[in-house]
Chain A
Amino acid sequence: MPERLIGAVRGIGHRVVDAVWRMGYAARFFAATLLHSGASFRRFHLTIKEIYFSGVLSLIIILVSGLFVGMVLGLQGYETLQKYGSESALGTLVALSLVRELGPVLAALLFASRAGSAITAEIGLMKATEQLSAMEMMAVDPVARVVAPRFWGGVISMPLLAAMFSAIGVFGGYLVGVVLIGVDEGQFWSQMQAAVDFRQDVVNGVIKSVVFGIAVTAIALFEGYDAPPTAEGVSHATTRTVVTSSLAVLALDFVLTAFMFRGA
């Protein structure tokens, strides 16, 4: 009995130490990424390549999702608002939900599954095939050459993608609300403009998406860099990237919303 008890306590201790060690390792990795970012800006074409892979190639899924989310918001919002005779507030509803919440959050979730998983798989495979070690042998710092450009590529792409998501979502809401259902166009836009404040809503949405971009890309990079160099290890790391970064986005969104929109 005592041995089993000691064993159980030891198991808890082992897990806690492991978790703390991993967090410390992730923090050091993140710090090293920032510290070695010089080359991503001095040789900007490295970063441009990563913006292409994580930003431009994510465009289609972001735009299509944004359009459909906006159209569904238009349909559902109209359903409820017309019961109270206030369908003129449809523009406000669509724009505020997109700019404040859905744009940054959904774009970040899509970005995590579309670009984050690709980053993890790529770096994990580079590690498994010892390309990273080969770089170190050639006195090329893999963090500066491989990790940092991907980080900045993701951080630059994310707010742009989120802005496009929100903009096309508003257009989708306009398509359904005004063109299809026939809400008055003037009321749709003017009520929206009266309710959406640039600093309070648009800028806060952009701040959110920058934070999400940092979180998703950093998690994806770390999971790839930390992945065991096996096929199974890379596959697990890719799954973990999507799960962890999605949860991180949702948790961060709650915290940021609590700070930004409390009482406003």
Chain B
Amino acid sequence: MERTTMDLWVGAFVVAGMAALLVLAFKVGNLGTFNNNETYTLYAEFENIGGLKVRAPVKSAGVVVGRVTDIQFDNQTFRARVTFTVDKRYRFPKDTFAKILTAGLLGEQYIGLDPGGDSEDLANGDKIAKTQPAVVLENLIGQFLYSKAAEGGDTAK
């Protein structure tokens, strides 16, 4: 085969392969929707994180603003220390409230941020002081039974 024809085919092949990679990165993957470069890091301590995992989304008002990067157990406070990154475009006040929520009934768990009213913003490395732990079904049922039992005691009296 003519060398120029072969070069043309190989060139087209390489370009098509690269295009496929770009499609995988931007259309299939999350590179188009979330910029990994410009982020700042925050952390929060929770009493219980339930089923939260590394890479779980951080959402505010339902919009994904960041991702969980690290989960550690703090042996001093006996709480879970969750580190996450937030996109630089989004700023949150100092008294922002972090909750662990569940998407749907059986969905994955994520961190929800409720912005407070402070005039100062959270900066890189700051800690979110106010947190709410994940809802654990067993505890919930336990509480329910306990209150039912208490009610039953009242009516029997």
Contact = CB atoms under 8 A, between A and B. Distances in A.
- The dominant DSSP class at the B interface is helix
B25 A264 contact: no
Given A52-B9, A55-B13, A59-B13, A198 B18 contact: no
Interface residues of A, number: 35
A189 B14 CA distance: 26
Given A51-B13, A163-B24, A198 B7 contact: no
Contact of A56 (B10, B30, B36, B55): B10
Contacts, number: 92
A160 B23 contact: no
Among all A-B residue pairs, the 10 with the closest Cβ atoms: A160-B17, A167-B20, A163-B20, A198-B31, A164-B20, A198-B29, A196-B29, A163-B21, A56-B13, A167-B23
Nearest to A161: B17
Contacts of B21: 160, 163, 202, 206
29 contacts: A45-B7, A48-B6, A48-B10, A52-B6, A52-B9, A52-B10, A56-B9, A56-B10, A160-B13, A160-B14, A160-B16, A160-B20, A163-B21, A170-B23, A189-B27, A193-B27, A193-B28, A194-B33, A196-B28, A196-B30, A197-B55, A198-B30, A198-B31, A198-B36, A200-B55, A202-B21, A202-B24, A202-B29, A206-B21
Contact of A202 (B19, B25, B55): B25
Interface of A: 45, 48-49, 51-52, 55-56, 59, 95, 99, 156-157, 159-161, 163-164, 166-168, 170, 189, 192-194, 196-202, 205-206, 264
A146 B28 CA distance: 38
Nearest to A170: B28
B110 to A, nearest CB: 11
B30 A193 contact: yes
B10 A202 contact: no
- The dominant DSSP class at the A interface is helix
B24 A99 contact: yes
Size class of the contact patch on chain B:
20 to 34
Given A55-B13, A160-B13, A197 B27 contact: no
B89 interface: no
